[in-house]
Amino acid sequence: MHSIAAVARKEFRDDFRNRWTVVITVLFGALALGIAYFGGATAGRVGFTSFETTVASLTTLAAFVVPLISLLIAYDTVVGERDGGTLLLLLSYPLSRGQLVTGKFLGHSAVLTVATVVGFGAAVAAIQAMTPQARTMAAWGEIAVFVGSASLLGASFVGIGCLISVLTRDKSRAAGMALLAWFVLVVLFDLLLLAVLVASGGNATERAVYPFLLLANPIDVFRLLNLGALGAGAGNDAFLAMSAGRTYELWTLFVVLGVWAIAPIALALLAFRQQEV
């Protein structure tokens, strides 16, 4: 356990030293404030609108940005050490392969969590300061769900990045696979589901299956956590159509997203133990 904590601390410090954490935090805060303030520009108005609309906008933003940044941070976790010739040196220490990868995963996930809490949290606090009607317990509950689920989403894609890093032998291929994973999960997955739903007219079988297919993508689980309670009219009508009006328990979705945070890194550990260095 001490070895895992030491590796995690090193990765966390390195991300700070490389300014990753500061850049991500500022980016999250600036984008969140910008989208919240200018989100209604297409309708001829600017300024903060209802808190529900703001949460929907922030969810859409986080669903695109958090996975991409997580993959960029984690894709060279192992393959970068291998390319740099330091992997054998690291493993010559009293440090197992599992401890090395787990420590790197925890360090990068902690960076994403700090950036999410500080960046999005500061933006939401500013929004609430400017919209007194949003200062309710329900609003703070939505904020807690958003920040918690965004942190788990980041951990999920850090795990996917670690898995890609273990399975590839050079950094350029790992970077390409990371971008491909982002495109498939963020863009292509929902696009294909929606295309099939529209083409078929949404028959009874699809309406029964689709709510469960959404759980097969961590981004959709994140959206369900934050958009499911908002109902139609918050810019999420197409997504709600795929859920077929199914109601998900909040704790169930958090458990599923937690599994998504654990499963990729577990596969990465299994694959790394069976590899030759």
DSSP letters, 75-120, are: TTTTHHHHHHT-HHHHHTSS--HHHHHHHHHHHHHHHHHHHIIIII
- The answer to whether 84 and 266 are in contact (CB under 8 A) is no
Tokens of 43: 């309708």
229 band by pLDDT with thresholds 50, 70 and 90:
low
CA 214 vs CA 80, 108, 191: distances in Å = 33, 26, 12
Alpha-carbon torsion, ordered 172, 25, 181, 211, to 10 deg = 180
d(CA 121, CA 267): 32
Higher pLDDT, 149 or 85: 149
CA 129 vs CA 59, 98, 122, 143: distances in Å = 20, 45, 10, 14
Q: Cα–Cα–Cα angle for 199, 202, 203, nearest 5°?
A: 115
d(CA 241, CA 228): 11
Instruction: Identify the pLDDT of residue 46.
Output: 59
pLDDT in tens, 166-194: 999 889 999 999 999 999 999 999 888 87
Residues contacting residue 246 through CB under 8 Å, at least 6 positions apart? 211
d(CA 12, CA 22): 12
Phi, psi (rounded to 5 degrees) for 245: 70, 10
Instruction: Identify the pLDDT of residue 154.
Output: 94
Residues present in the chain in total: 277
Residues contacting residue 209 through CB under 8 Å, at least 6 positions apart? none
Q: What is the pTM of this model?
A: 0.89
- The answer to whether 120 and 24 are in contact (CB under 8 A) is no
d(CA 77, CA 91): 14
Closest CA to 108 of 60, 63, 132, 76: 76
- Whether the pLDDT of residue 120 is over 60: the answer is yes
How high is the mean pLDDT of the chain?
Answer: 82
- The kind and range of the H/E element at 34 are helix 20-38
Q: Over pLDDT 70: what percentage of the chain?
A: 81
| Average pLDDT of the residues in 208-231 | 81
Instruction: Identify the pLDDT of residue 205.
Output: 66
Burial (Cβ within 10 Å: 0-12, 13-18, ≥19) of residue 92: exposed
122 band by pLDDT with thresholds 50, 70 and 90:
confident
- Whether the pLDDT of residue 45 is over 70: the answer is no
d(CA 72, CA 171): 11
